[in-house]
Protein backbone atom coordinates (compact mmCIF):
# COMPACT_ATOMS: atom_id res chain seq x y z
CA UNK A 1 0.00 0.00 0.00
CA UNK A 2 1.18 3.49 -0.86
CA UNK A 3 2.58 5.28 2.21
CA UNK A 4 0.35 8.17 3.21
CA UNK A 5 3.38 10.46 3.00
CA UNK A 6 3.16 10.15 -0.80
CA UNK A 7 -0.40 11.48 -0.69
CA UNK A 8 0.94 14.54 1.09
CA UNK A 9 3.70 14.94 -1.48
CA UNK A 10 0.98 14.89 -4.16
CA UNK A 11 -0.95 17.57 -2.25
CA UNK A 12 2.18 19.69 -2.06
CA UNK A 13 2.73 19.26 -5.83
CA UNK A 14 -0.75 20.63 -6.37
CA UNK A 15 -0.14 23.56 -4.01
CA UNK A 16 3.11 24.44 -5.80
CA UNK A 17 1.56 24.11 -9.28
CA UNK A 18 -1.60 26.08 -8.56
CA UNK A 19 -0.09 28.79 -6.39
CA UNK A 20 2.68 31.33 -6.84
CA UNK A 21 5.81 31.23 -4.72
CA UNK A 22 6.90 34.72 -3.75
CA UNK A 23 9.16 33.82 -0.82
CA UNK A 24 12.50 35.28 -1.99
CA UNK A 25 14.53 32.39 -0.58
CA UNK A 26 12.63 29.70 -2.48
CA UNK A 27 12.90 28.41 -6.03
CA UNK A 28 12.05 25.41 -8.24
CA UNK A 29 14.83 22.95 -9.14
CA UNK A 30 15.15 21.19 -12.47
CA UNK A 31 14.11 17.59 -13.10
CA UNK A 32 17.82 16.62 -13.30
CA UNK A 33 18.48 18.04 -9.85
CA UNK A 34 15.48 16.16 -8.44
CA UNK A 35 16.77 12.96 -10.03
CA UNK A 36 20.22 13.27 -8.46
CA UNK A 37 18.70 14.06 -5.04
CA UNK A 38 16.56 10.96 -5.20
CA UNK A 39 19.43 8.71 -6.29
CA UNK A 40 21.22 5.77 -4.66
CA UNK A 41 24.09 8.07 -3.73
CA UNK A 42 22.23 8.49 -0.44
CA UNK A 43 23.37 4.96 0.44
CA UNK A 44 27.04 5.91 0.68
CA UNK A 45 29.20 7.03 3.61
CA UNK A 46 32.13 9.20 2.54
CA UNK A 47 33.54 11.09 5.52
CA UNK A 48 36.56 13.05 4.40
CA UNK A 49 37.38 14.65 1.08
CA UNK A 50 38.53 13.88 -2.43
CA UNK A 51 42.14 14.93 -3.00
CA UNK A 52 42.66 18.51 -4.08
CA UNK A 53 45.69 17.92 -6.28
CA UNK A 54 45.66 20.16 -9.31
CA UNK A 55 42.80 22.25 -8.01
CA UNK A 56 44.90 25.40 -8.55
CA UNK A 57 44.72 25.11 -12.33
CA UNK A 58 41.26 23.68 -12.82
CA UNK A 59 39.75 27.03 -13.71
CA UNK A 60 41.58 26.89 -17.05
CA UNK A 61 42.48 23.29 -17.66
CA UNK A 62 39.94 21.11 -15.94
CA UNK A 63 38.60 18.46 -18.18
CA UNK A 64 35.42 16.95 -16.70
CA UNK A 65 35.31 14.04 -19.15
CA UNK A 66 38.79 12.90 -18.22
CA UNK A 67 38.16 13.32 -14.47
CA UNK A 68 34.99 11.28 -14.78
CA UNK A 69 37.10 8.29 -15.85
CA UNK A 70 40.10 8.78 -13.53
CA UNK A 71 40.57 7.15 -10.16
CA UNK A 72 41.46 9.98 -7.81
CA UNK A 73 43.53 9.92 -4.63
CA UNK A 74 41.50 10.88 -1.58
CA UNK A 75 41.40 11.64 2.15
CA UNK A 76 38.38 9.47 3.03
CA UNK A 77 37.67 7.25 5.99
CA UNK A 78 35.65 4.61 4.07
CA UNK A 79 36.30 2.48 0.99
CA UNK A 80 34.35 2.42 -2.26
CA UNK A 81 34.77 6.11 -3.06
CA UNK A 82 35.80 6.07 -6.73
CA UNK A 83 32.53 7.46 -8.08
CA UNK A 84 31.83 9.67 -5.09
CA UNK A 85 35.28 11.30 -5.33
CA UNK A 86 34.76 12.14 -8.99
CA UNK A 87 31.30 13.59 -8.39
CA UNK A 88 32.51 15.73 -5.50
CA UNK A 89 35.55 16.95 -7.47
CA UNK A 90 33.27 17.99 -10.33
CA UNK A 91 31.04 19.88 -7.86
CA UNK A 92 34.09 21.62 -6.33
CA UNK A 93 35.51 22.54 -9.71
CA UNK A 94 32.26 23.95 -11.05
CA UNK A 95 31.67 25.98 -7.87
CA UNK A 96 35.19 27.46 -8.10
CA UNK A 97 34.67 28.43 -11.74
CA UNK A 98 31.24 29.89 -11.06
CA UNK A 99 32.40 32.13 -8.19
CA UNK A 100 36.09 32.78 -9.05
CA UNK A 101 37.22 30.95 -5.92
CA UNK A 102 40.43 29.04 -5.23
CA UNK A 103 38.56 26.49 -3.17
CA UNK A 104 35.03 25.26 -2.53
CA UNK A 105 33.71 23.10 0.26
CA UNK A 106 30.49 21.58 -1.06
CA UNK A 107 29.67 19.54 2.06
CA UNK A 108 27.75 21.95 4.38
CA UNK A 109 24.25 20.55 4.89
CA UNK A 110 22.78 24.06 4.99
CA UNK A 111 23.59 27.75 5.00
CA UNK A 112 23.57 27.76 8.80
CA UNK A 113 26.16 24.94 8.88
CA UNK A 114 28.32 26.79 6.36
CA UNK A 115 28.37 29.93 8.53
CA UNK A 116 29.09 28.01 11.71
CA UNK A 117 31.99 26.20 10.05
CA UNK A 118 33.60 29.50 9.01
CA UNK A 119 33.27 30.94 12.53
CA UNK A 120 34.75 27.72 13.91
CA UNK A 121 37.61 27.78 11.38
CA UNK A 122 38.77 31.29 12.26
CA UNK A 123 37.58 32.24 15.75
CA UNK A 124 38.22 31.12 19.31
CA UNK A 125 35.39 31.23 21.88
CA UNK A 126 34.78 34.84 22.93
CA UNK A 127 36.20 36.36 19.71
CA UNK A 128 34.31 39.26 18.16
CA UNK A 129 32.30 39.02 14.93
CA UNK A 130 30.83 42.18 13.39
CA UNK A 131 27.63 41.45 11.42
CA UNK A 132 24.37 43.04 10.31
CA UNK A 133 21.71 42.98 13.04
CA UNK A 134 18.64 40.79 12.59
CA UNK A 135 16.15 43.73 12.58
CA UNK A 136 18.26 45.50 9.93
CA UNK A 137 18.01 42.46 7.64
CA UNK A 138 20.78 40.13 8.86
CA UNK A 139 20.23 36.39 9.32
CA UNK A 140 19.68 34.48 12.58
CA UNK A 141 23.12 32.87 12.18
CA UNK A 142 24.75 36.32 12.23
CA UNK A 143 24.52 36.62 15.99
CA UNK A 144 20.93 36.20 17.13
CA UNK A 145 21.05 35.35 20.87
CA UNK A 146 18.94 32.22 20.26
CA UNK A 147 21.75 30.54 18.29
CA UNK A 148 24.63 28.37 19.46
CA UNK A 149 27.15 30.68 17.71
CA UNK A 150 26.00 33.63 19.78
CA UNK A 151 26.73 31.67 22.95
CA UNK A 152 30.27 30.91 21.73
CA UNK A 153 31.33 34.13 19.98
CA UNK A 154 30.84 37.77 20.80
CA UNK A 155 28.66 39.29 18.06
CA UNK A 156 28.57 43.03 17.53
CA UNK A 157 26.11 44.46 15.05
CA UNK A 158 25.77 47.24 12.51
CA UNK A 159 22.49 48.42 11.00
CA UNK A 160 21.04 50.20 7.99
CA UNK A 161 20.24 53.86 7.35
CA UNK A 162 16.82 55.22 6.43
CA UNK A 163 17.11 54.55 2.68
CA UNK A 164 17.77 50.88 3.50
CA UNK A 165 21.50 50.88 2.74
CA UNK A 166 24.22 49.58 5.08
CA UNK A 167 25.27 52.13 7.71
CA UNK A 168 28.89 52.20 6.47
CA UNK A 169 29.92 54.87 9.01
CA UNK A 170 28.70 52.70 11.86
CA UNK A 171 30.37 49.66 10.30
CA UNK A 172 33.70 51.50 10.04
CA UNK A 173 33.53 53.01 13.50
CA UNK A 174 32.70 49.64 15.13
CA UNK A 175 35.32 47.78 13.07
CA UNK A 176 38.06 50.15 14.23
CA UNK A 177 36.89 50.32 17.85
CA UNK A 178 36.17 46.60 18.32
CA UNK A 179 38.85 45.04 16.06
CA UNK A 180 36.67 41.96 15.27
CA UNK A 181 38.13 38.67 14.03
CA UNK A 182 35.45 38.56 11.29
CA UNK A 183 33.59 41.30 9.43
CA UNK A 184 30.51 39.66 7.94
CA UNK A 185 28.47 41.15 5.12
CA UNK A 186 25.28 39.22 4.55
CA UNK A 187 21.53 39.43 4.92
CA UNK A 188 18.13 37.88 4.39
CA UNK A 189 16.10 41.07 3.98
CA UNK A 190 18.18 43.72 2.21
CA UNK A 191 17.56 45.10 -1.26
CA UNK A 192 20.67 47.18 -2.04
CA UNK A 193 24.02 46.18 -3.56
CA UNK A 194 26.79 46.30 -0.93
CA UNK A 195 29.80 48.53 -1.65
CA UNK A 196 32.36 45.72 -1.39
CA UNK A 197 35.26 48.01 -2.32
CA UNK A 198 34.49 50.34 0.59
CA UNK A 199 34.13 47.39 2.98
CA UNK A 200 37.49 45.95 1.89
CA UNK A 201 39.11 49.33 2.64
CA UNK A 202 37.49 49.38 6.10
CA UNK A 203 38.76 45.84 6.80
CA UNK A 204 42.36 46.97 6.07
CA UNK A 205 42.10 48.96 9.32
CA UNK A 206 41.56 45.71 11.25
CA UNK A 207 44.73 43.58 11.01
CA UNK A 208 44.12 39.83 10.77
CA UNK A 209 40.40 40.28 10.19
CA UNK A 210 38.64 37.72 7.99
CA UNK A 211 36.31 39.31 5.44
CA UNK A 212 33.32 37.06 5.03
CA UNK A 213 30.27 37.48 2.81
CA UNK A 214 27.11 35.44 3.33
CA UNK A 215 25.56 35.73 -0.12
CA UNK A 216 22.87 33.08 0.44
CA UNK A 217 20.18 35.26 -1.09
CA UNK A 218 22.02 36.68 -4.09
CA UNK A 219 24.41 33.84 -5.05
CA UNK A 220 22.42 33.16 -8.23
CA UNK A 221 22.61 36.82 -9.19
CA UNK A 222 26.40 36.71 -8.67
CA UNK A 223 26.66 33.51 -10.71
CA UNK A 224 24.57 35.13 -13.45
CA UNK A 225 26.78 38.24 -13.52
CA UNK A 226 24.15 40.77 -12.41
CA UNK A 227 25.54 41.34 -8.91
CA UNK A 228 29.16 41.98 -7.86
CA UNK A 229 31.12 39.06 -6.45
CA UNK A 230 32.74 39.80 -3.05
CA UNK A 231 35.60 37.39 -3.85
CA UNK A 232 36.58 39.75 -6.70
CA UNK A 233 36.94 42.59 -4.17
CA UNK A 234 39.34 41.00 -1.70
CA UNK A 235 36.92 39.06 0.49
CA UNK A 236 38.51 35.87 1.85
CA UNK A 237 35.37 33.76 2.21
CA UNK A 238 31.89 33.61 0.76
CA UNK A 239 29.19 31.33 2.16
CA UNK A 240 25.88 30.64 0.51
CA UNK A 241 22.92 28.36 0.40
CA UNK A 242 22.50 26.52 -2.88
CA UNK A 243 18.71 26.60 -3.03
CA UNK A 244 17.70 30.25 -3.32
CA UNK A 245 18.51 32.33 -6.42
CA UNK A 246 21.18 29.71 -7.26
CA UNK A 247 18.33 27.26 -7.90
CA UNK A 248 20.02 24.10 -6.67
CA UNK A 249 19.16 21.51 -4.01
CA UNK A 250 18.66 22.59 -0.38
CA UNK A 251 22.21 22.92 1.03
CA UNK A 252 25.23 25.06 1.85
CA UNK A 253 28.51 25.97 0.16
CA UNK A 254 31.73 27.71 1.29
CA UNK A 255 34.00 29.40 -1.25
CA UNK A 256 37.38 30.80 -0.37
CA UNK A 257 40.63 32.28 -1.63
CA UNK A 258 43.98 30.93 -0.44
CA UNK A 259 46.23 27.88 -0.29
CA UNK A 260 44.96 24.41 -1.10
CA UNK A 261 46.54 21.44 0.71
CA UNK A 262 45.75 18.21 2.48
CA UNK A 263 43.22 18.73 5.28
CA UNK A 264 44.86 15.90 7.26
CA UNK A 265 47.62 18.12 8.68
CA UNK A 266 46.61 21.13 10.78
CA UNK A 267 48.01 24.19 9.03
CA UNK A 268 49.27 27.40 10.61
CA UNK A 269 46.27 29.66 11.37
CA UNK A 270 46.70 32.32 8.70
CA UNK A 271 44.38 34.00 6.21
CA UNK A 272 46.30 32.30 3.37
CA UNK A 273 45.42 28.89 4.82
CA UNK A 274 41.70 29.62 5.19
CA UNK A 275 40.59 26.97 2.62
CA UNK A 276 42.31 24.18 4.62
CA UNK A 277 41.06 25.57 7.93
CA UNK A 278 37.53 25.56 6.50
CA UNK A 279 37.77 21.98 5.29
CA UNK A 280 38.86 20.89 8.76
CA UNK A 281 36.08 22.98 10.32
CA UNK A 282 33.37 21.36 8.16
CA UNK A 283 34.64 17.82 8.68
CA UNK A 284 35.40 16.71 11.35
CA UNK A 285 34.87 20.08 13.05
CA UNK A 286 31.11 20.51 12.77
CA UNK A 287 29.66 17.77 10.53
CA UNK A 288 29.86 14.04 9.95
CA UNK A 289 29.27 12.21 6.68
CA UNK A 290 28.52 14.37 3.63
CA UNK A 291 25.23 14.00 1.71
CA UNK A 292 26.64 12.81 -1.59
CA UNK A 293 23.24 12.67 -3.33
CA UNK A 294 22.90 16.38 -2.52
CA UNK A 295 26.48 17.07 -3.59
CA UNK A 296 25.72 15.42 -6.95
CA UNK A 297 22.64 17.65 -7.25
CA UNK A 298 24.79 20.68 -6.34
CA UNK A 299 27.21 19.70 -9.13
CA UNK A 300 24.30 19.61 -11.59
CA UNK A 301 22.99 22.97 -10.34
CA UNK A 302 26.44 24.59 -10.71
CA UNK A 303 26.63 23.13 -14.23
CA UNK A 304 23.24 24.69 -15.02
CA UNK A 305 24.38 28.04 -13.59
CA UNK A 306 27.53 27.97 -15.74
CA UNK A 307 25.40 27.83 -18.91
CA UNK A 308 24.76 31.10 -20.80
CA UNK A 309 20.97 31.00 -20.27
CA UNK A 310 21.46 31.30 -16.51
CA UNK A 311 22.70 34.85 -17.16
CA UNK A 312 19.36 35.64 -18.81
CA UNK A 313 17.55 34.06 -15.86
CA UNK A 314 19.48 36.20 -13.34
CA UNK A 315 18.84 39.36 -15.37
CA UNK A 316 15.13 38.55 -15.56
CA UNK A 317 14.89 38.01 -11.78
CA UNK A 318 16.13 41.56 -11.17
CA UNK A 319 14.05 43.09 -13.98
CA UNK A 320 10.92 41.39 -12.65
CA UNK A 321 11.64 42.58 -9.10
CA UNK A 322 12.12 46.16 -10.29
CA UNK A 323 8.91 46.06 -12.36
CA UNK A 324 6.92 44.56 -9.49
CA UNK A 325 8.33 47.16 -7.06
CA UNK A 326 7.42 50.08 -9.30
CA UNK A 327 3.91 48.70 -9.95
CA UNK A 328 3.36 48.28 -6.21
CA UNK A 329 4.53 51.84 -5.53
CA UNK A 330 2.09 53.13 -8.20
CA UNK A 331 -0.70 51.33 -6.30
CA UNK A 332 0.16 53.01 -2.98
CA UNK A 333 2.49 50.45 -1.38
CA UNK A 334 5.36 51.88 0.69
CA UNK A 335 8.55 49.89 0.16
CA UNK A 336 11.65 49.77 2.34
CA UNK A 337 14.41 51.49 0.34
CA UNK A 338 11.75 52.73 -2.08
CA UNK A 339 12.33 49.80 -4.45
CA UNK A 340 14.94 47.14 -5.04
CA UNK A 341 18.31 46.54 -6.69
CA UNK A 342 18.15 42.76 -6.37
CA UNK A 343 15.47 40.04 -6.22
CA UNK A 344 13.84 41.08 -2.96
CA UNK A 345 11.15 43.56 -1.92
CA UNK A 346 10.17 44.58 1.62
CA UNK A 347 6.74 46.18 1.99
CA UNK A 348 5.93 48.36 4.96
CA UNK A 349 2.37 47.04 5.24
CA UNK A 350 1.61 48.93 8.44
CA UNK A 351 2.59 52.29 6.97
CA UNK A 352 0.94 51.54 3.61
CA UNK A 353 -2.42 50.26 4.82
CA UNK A 354 -2.63 50.34 8.62
CA UNK A 355 -2.54 46.57 9.37
CA UNK A 356 0.39 44.27 10.14
CA UNK A 357 2.34 41.87 7.94
CA UNK A 358 0.90 38.70 9.51
CA UNK A 359 -2.71 39.50 8.47
CA UNK A 360 -1.51 40.27 4.96
CA UNK A 361 0.52 37.03 4.78
CA UNK A 362 -2.54 35.00 5.88
CA UNK A 363 -4.86 36.74 3.42
CA UNK A 364 -2.44 36.27 0.51
CA UNK A 365 -2.13 32.59 1.43
CA UNK A 366 -5.87 32.27 0.89
CA UNK A 367 -5.49 33.38 -2.74
CA UNK A 368 -2.46 31.15 -3.48
CA UNK A 369 0.19 33.86 -3.16
CA UNK A 370 2.87 32.72 -0.72
CA UNK A 371 5.21 35.18 1.00
CA UNK A 372 6.27 35.85 4.58
CA UNK A 373 5.62 38.49 7.21
CA UNK A 374 8.91 40.17 8.05
CA UNK A 375 10.25 42.69 10.53
CA UNK A 376 11.35 46.08 9.27
CA UNK A 377 14.46 47.85 10.60
CA UNK A 378 12.17 50.28 12.44
CA UNK A 379 10.03 47.53 14.07
CA UNK A 380 9.98 47.55 17.84
CA UNK A 381 7.29 44.88 18.37
CA UNK A 382 7.47 41.09 18.54
CA UNK A 383 8.95 39.35 15.49
CA UNK A 384 5.79 37.23 15.29
CA UNK A 385 3.62 40.27 14.37
CA UNK A 386 5.96 42.35 12.22
CA UNK A 387 4.94 45.44 10.24
CA UNK A 388 6.16 44.20 6.89
CA UNK A 389 6.16 41.41 4.36
CA UNK A 390 9.09 40.16 2.30
CA UNK A 391 8.72 38.86 -1.23
CA UNK A 392 10.87 38.14 -4.25
CA UNK A 393 10.95 37.02 -7.85
CA UNK A 394 13.38 34.03 -8.17
CA UNK A 395 10.70 31.31 -8.27
CA UNK A 396 8.16 33.07 -10.50
CA UNK A 397 10.97 34.01 -12.89
CA UNK A 398 11.91 30.32 -13.12
CA UNK A 399 8.31 29.67 -14.20
CA UNK A 400 8.70 32.22 -17.00
CA UNK A 401 6.86 35.22 -15.57
CA UNK A 402 7.64 38.60 -17.15
CA UNK A 403 6.49 42.20 -17.17
CA UNK A 404 2.76 41.68 -17.80
CA UNK A 405 2.49 39.00 -15.06
CA UNK A 406 4.25 41.39 -12.63
CA UNK A 407 1.53 43.97 -13.32
CA UNK A 408 -1.22 41.43 -12.72
CA UNK A 409 0.45 40.27 -9.52
CA UNK A 410 0.67 43.85 -8.18
CA UNK A 411 -3.06 44.31 -8.86
CA UNK A 412 -3.98 41.12 -7.00
CA UNK A 413 -1.81 42.22 -4.08
CA UNK A 414 -3.63 45.55 -3.97
CA UNK A 415 -7.04 43.84 -4.07
CA UNK A 416 -6.06 41.60 -1.15
CA UNK A 417 -4.75 44.64 0.77
CA UNK A 418 -8.14 46.35 0.31
CA UNK A 419 -9.92 43.25 1.66
CA UNK A 420 -7.61 43.24 4.72
CA UNK A 421 -8.39 46.92 5.33
CA UNK A 422 -12.08 46.05 5.46
CA UNK A 423 -11.57 42.86 7.51
CA UNK A 424 -9.23 44.48 10.07
CA UNK A 425 -8.35 41.10 11.65
CA UNK A 426 -7.42 37.57 10.57
CA UNK A 427 -10.66 36.14 12.01
CA UNK A 428 -12.78 38.51 9.92
CA UNK A 429 -11.13 37.35 6.70
CA UNK A 430 -13.70 34.52 6.72
CA UNK A 431 -16.36 37.18 5.92
CA UNK A 432 -14.62 37.80 2.60
CA UNK A 433 -14.43 34.22 1.34
CA UNK A 434 -16.18 35.01 -1.95
CA UNK A 435 -13.91 37.96 -2.86
CA UNK A 436 -10.76 36.02 -1.85
CA UNK A 437 -12.03 32.92 -3.69
CA UNK A 438 -12.47 34.82 -6.92
CA UNK A 439 -8.89 36.19 -6.79
CA UNK A 440 -7.70 32.66 -5.95
CA UNK A 441 -9.27 31.23 -9.08
CA UNK A 442 -7.59 33.93 -11.23
CA UNK A 443 -4.23 33.09 -9.57
CA UNK A 444 -4.80 29.37 -10.23
CA UNK A 445 -5.62 29.97 -13.89
CA UNK A 446 -2.47 32.01 -14.48
CA UNK A 447 -0.23 29.73 -12.40
CA UNK A 448 -1.19 26.58 -14.27
CA UNK A 449 -0.23 28.23 -17.57
CA UNK A 450 3.37 28.34 -16.25
CA UNK A 451 4.28 24.79 -15.12
CA UNK A 452 6.68 24.15 -12.27
CA UNK A 453 9.84 22.40 -13.56
CA UNK A 454 9.99 18.81 -12.37
CA UNK A 455 6.20 18.51 -11.81
CA UNK A 456 4.28 16.64 -14.46
C1 LIG B 1 21.71 35.11 4.54
C2 LIG B 1 21.37 33.73 4.99
N3 LIG B 1 22.32 32.97 5.54
C4 LIG B 1 22.09 31.72 5.97
C5 LIG B 1 20.85 31.16 5.84
C6 LIG B 1 20.60 29.79 6.40
O7 LIG B 1 20.39 28.86 5.45
P8 LIG B 1 19.72 27.44 5.82
O9 LIG B 1 18.29 27.69 6.03
O10 LIG B 1 20.04 26.58 4.64
O11 LIG B 1 20.42 26.97 7.05
C12 LIG B 1 19.83 31.89 5.24
C13 LIG B 1 18.48 31.29 5.07
O14 LIG B 1 17.49 31.86 4.90
C15 LIG B 1 20.08 33.22 4.81
O16 LIG B 1 19.13 33.99 4.27
Q: Answer yes or no: is pLDDT of 60 > 60.
A: no
| 297 and 319 housed in the same domain | no
- Minimum CA distance residue for ligand 1 atom 8: 111
Is residue 410 assigned to a domain? yes
pLDDT in tens, 177-226: 999 999 999 999 999 999 999 999 999 999 999 999 999 999 999 999 99
Confidence of residue 69 (pLDDT cuts 50, 70, 90): confident
341 and 288 in a common domain: no
| 321 and 269 within one domain | no
Q: Both 293 and 329 in a single domain?
A: no
In this structure, the answer to whether residues 43 and 183 fall within a common structural domain is yes
Domain count of the fold of the chain: 2
Q: Is residue 8 part of a domain?
A: no
Q: 138-181, pLDDT tens digit by residue?
A: 999 999 999 999 999 999 999 999 989 999 999 999 999 999 99
**Is residue 390 lining ligand 1, measured as CB closer than 6 Å?**
no
244 is catalytic: yes
Interval between CA 87 and ligand 1 midpoint (Å): 25
Give the domain extent around 48: 31-306
Tell me the CA–centroid distance for residue 252 and ligand 1, in Å.
9
> Helices in 50-81 by DSSP H: which ranges?
58-61, 64-67
Of 45, 75, 168, 233, catalytic: 45
Domain finish residue from 249, 284, 306: 306
Look over the chain and give the mean of its residue pLDDT values, rounded to a whole number: 95
CA 120–ligand 1 middle distance (angstroms)? 17
326 shares a domain with 275: no
Q: What values do phi and psi take at 367, rounded to 5?
A: -110, 10
Give percent above pLDDT 70 in the chain: 97
286 and 385 in a common domain: no
Q: Which numbered atom of ligand 1 lies nearest the CA of 138?
A: 1
User: Any catalytic annotation for residue 398?
Assistant: no
Residue finishing a domain among 306, 323, 351: 306
Q: Choosing from 88, 214, 361, 405, which is the catalytic residue?
A: 214
Q: What is the mean pLDDT of residues 303-311?
A: 97
Q: Is residue 456 part of a domain?
A: no
In a domain, 19, yes or no: no
Residue ending a domain, choose from 285, 306, 327: 306
CB distance 316 to ligand 1 below 6 Å: no
Ligand 1 pocket member 186 (CB < 6 A): yes
Q: Which of 147, 190, 216, 218 most suits a substitution to test ligand 1, by most atoms within 8 Å of the C-beta?
A: 216
List pLDDT tens digits, range 72-88: 788 999 999 999 999 99
Alpha helices in 179-268 (DSSP H): 196-203, 219-223
2 inside domain: no
Domain assignment present for residue 44? The answer is yes
| Ligand 1 atom at shortest distance from the alpha carbon of 187 | 1
b or e along 423-450 (b: 16 or more beta carbons within 10 Å of the residue's beta carbon)?
A: beebeebeebeebbeebbeebbebbeee
User: pTM here?
Assistant: 0.96
| pLDDT tops 70 at residue 56 | no
Q: 325 and 195 in one domain?
A: no
CATH code, domain with 363: 3.90.1150.10
Residues 173 and 49 both lie in one domain: yes
Cα(112) to ligand 1 centroid in Å equals 6
Q: Is residue 16 part of a domain?
A: no
184 lines ligand 1 (CB under 6 A): no
**Contact residues for 442 (Cβ-Cβ < 8 A; gap 6+):** 412
270 and 354: one domain? Answer: no
| 285 and 346 assigned to the same domain | no
Cβ atoms of 323 and 238 within 8 Å: the answer is no
CATH number of 116's domain: 3.40.640.10
Residue 314 sits in the same domain as residue 302? no
Q: Residue range 241-270: average pLDDT?
A: 95
Cα of 448 from ligand 1 centre, angstroms:
29
Amino acid sequence: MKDIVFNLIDEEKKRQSEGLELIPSENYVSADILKAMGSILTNKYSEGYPSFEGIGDIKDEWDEKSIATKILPNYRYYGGQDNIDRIERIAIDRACRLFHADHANVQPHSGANANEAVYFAWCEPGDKILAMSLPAGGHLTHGSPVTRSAKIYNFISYGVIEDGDINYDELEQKAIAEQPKIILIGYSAFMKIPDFERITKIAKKVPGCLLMADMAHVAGLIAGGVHPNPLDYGFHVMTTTTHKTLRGPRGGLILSKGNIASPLKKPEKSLENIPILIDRAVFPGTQGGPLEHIIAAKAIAFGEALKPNFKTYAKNIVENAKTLASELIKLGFILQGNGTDNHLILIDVQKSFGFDGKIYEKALDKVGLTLNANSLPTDKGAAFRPSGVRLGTPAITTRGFGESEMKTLALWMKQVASICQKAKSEENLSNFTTELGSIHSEVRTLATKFPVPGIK
